[in-house]
Amino acid sequence: MALIVQKYGGSSVADADKIKNVARRIVATKEKGNEVVVVVSAMGDTTDDLIQLARQINPKPQERELDVLLSTGEVVSSTLMAMALHEMGYEAVSLSGAQAGIRTDTTYSKARILHIEPKRVVKELEKGNIVIVAGFQGMTDDMDIATLGRGGSDTTAVALAAALKAQMCQIYTDVEGVFTADPRLVPEARKLKEIGYEEMLEMATLGAKVMHSRAVELGQVYKMPIMVASSFSDKPGTIIHGGISMEVRNKARGIAHDLNVAKITVVGVPDRPGIASAIFEPLAKANISVDTIVQNASIDNITDLTFTVARGDSDKAMSLVQPIAKSIGAKQCVSDSTLAKVSVVGTGMLNTPGYAANMFRALSEQGINIQLITTSEIRITCIIAEGKVKDAIQALHKAFDLEQDLI
Ligand code: ASP
Ligand code: MG
């Protein structure tokens, strides 16, 4: 008998009918002879609504209280799911994260899972129950409730699957899987049958918001295969795993894009030790995460330093960097919040010459100006004007033969 962990996202359990629909899917998995553990998110926009409600009472709610409040969203959906299964004549029990043995550190609102003691889950499975676990939450050593950060139910599911040594973790959501590019912008985009963990991480952090990155990382560490599929259809989803078929390895896997990019350039920076740290340390202290950083080779000991941040952080970053720029004798600071990132992702590029040339050619043929370029082992990223994103990813999708159904 295989043990399967399934996770259903907020849109899959948004109302009573959807909960009943999910219950039928859980039953179908159980009827195939599997043991089933189900992780649920809060119904629809419940988490946002609870945050709003808390802020009406107190604009700055204490994190400990807020976490208990938010954890109730998942508790509600887990109990309703158990009731739906009972109504269908199946044995099921709901457990909070704490009851399921999920132990976390004390960083409220973005707690990390330290370990899982799944004794109670195992006991309930042995009794023949379908076990429904409230996602997104765990318990600290002091028996306080802590939540795992927005979208954290994915992490609950993969962590539980690893702790229970499940055969697979299935993430059901409102998209059909991971696509070669955003299908709303590229009509030829295809659903991938499989993708490697690293490639998925690049796709996810670059804006293909199918799954929580932390959950993918956990899957990679524990070698847990993850399937992403829609709870609204029976079409096969995408499997994220480590053992991608050899022949598929040489291909680019997908084109990711991210519109949430702002660029800041400090112009005319004296080229001497300590300058970069003087600029970036205050940003780190202010919790602003800096993405791409480019420093030019200096001429006459003067250089330009450019970096990107999320658009929401742009004003704050400018207000921190401007006085520093002045004090180190830089000429000026300029920012641009109308940019986007486009990336070609694939493990194949590690050993294949010509990827970068192919990318730059495709963009130049569209008359698209590349403002910054960065690379990792499995990704090439260009920063371009946001208005050109659609043209860019369509051209790249074609240039890398992604419309062909090889994988
Ligand atoms: N309900 C939480 C959120 O909306 C956790 C989750 O959905 O995974 O962020
Ligand atoms: Mg949610």
- Which region, left, alpha or beta, applies to residue 307 given φ > 0 means left and ψ of -120 to 50 means alpha? beta
β-partners of residue 8 are 40, 172
pLDDT in tens, 146-172: 999 999 999 999 999 999 999 999 999
Question: Rounded to 5 degrees, what angle do the CA atoms 94, 225, 24 make?
Answer: 40
pLDDT in tens, 82-107: 999 999 999 999 999 999 999 999 99
pLDDT in tens, 308-363: 999 999 999 999 999 999 999 999 999 999 999 999 999 877 777 788 999 999 99
Supply 257's token pair.
């894009």
85, 22 contact by CB (below 8 A): no
Supply the pLDDT for residue 207.
61
52: enclosing H helix or E strand: helix 46-57
Supply the pLDDT for residue 298.
85
pLDDT in tens, 188-219: 999 999 999 999 998 876 666 788 889 999 99
Probe residue for ligand 1, chosen from 43, 136, 211 as the CB with the greatest number of ligand atoms within 8 Å:
136
pTM of the model: 0.87
Cβ neighbors of 154 (< 8 A, separation 6 or more) are 7, 135, 171, 211, 212, 214, 215
Supply the pLDDT for residue 243.
74
Percent of the chain surpassing pLDDT 70: 96
Tell me, in angstroms, the distance from the centre of ligand 1 to residue 151's CA.
4
Asked whether the predicted pLDDT for residue 176 surpasses 70, the reply is yes
CB of 135 shorter than 6 A to ligand 1:
yes
CB of 44 shorter than 6 A to ligand 1:
no
Asked whether the predicted pLDDT for residue 250 surpasses 80, the reply is no
Supply the pLDDT for residue 265.
96
Tell me, in angstroms, the distance from the centre of ligand 1 to residue 50's CA.
11
Question: Rounded to 5 degrees, what angle do the CA atoms 245, 247, 249 make?
Answer: 75
Cβ neighbors of 17 (< 8 A, separation 6 or more) are none
CB of 110 shorter than 6 A to ligand 1:
no
DSSP state of 266: E
Indicate the pairing of strand 145-147 with strand 130-134: unpaired
Give Rg (Cα) of the chain: 23
CB of 307 shorter than 6 A to ligand 1:
no
240, 154 contact by CB (below 8 A): no
CB of 101 shorter than 6 A to ligand 1:
no
* CATH of 255-399 among 1.10.540.10, 1.10.357.10, 1.10.1660.10, 3.30.2130.10: 3.30.2130.10
In this structure, the chain runs to a length of 407
258, 340 contact by CB (below 8 A): yes
Report the alpha-carbon distance of residue 385 to residue 368 in Å, rounded.
8
Indicate where the chain has its CATH 3.30.2130.10 domain(s). 255-399
Supply the pLDDT for residue 306.
95
Supply the pLDDT for residue 2.
96
Which ligand number lies closest to the CA of residue 48? Answer: 1
The residue whose CA is least distant from atom 9 of ligand 1 is 150
Supply the pLDDT for residue 75.
98
382, 373 contact by CB (below 8 A): yes
Q: State whether the Cα torsion 184-348-161-159 is positive or negative.
A: negative
Indicate where the chain has its CATH 3.40.1160.10 domain(s). 3-244
Report the alpha-carbon distance of residue 253 to residue 257 in Å, rounded.
13
Reported as a pLDDT band with limits 50, 70 and 90, residue 248 is: low
Asked whether the predicted pLDDT for residue 249 surpasses 60, the reply is no
Reported as a pLDDT band with limits 50, 70 and 90, residue 247 is: low
CB of 97 shorter than 6 A to ligand 1:
no
Supply the pLDDT for residue 309.
95
Give the architecture (CATH level 2) of 3-244. 3-Layer(aba) Sandwich (3.40)
Supply the pLDDT for residue 275.
87
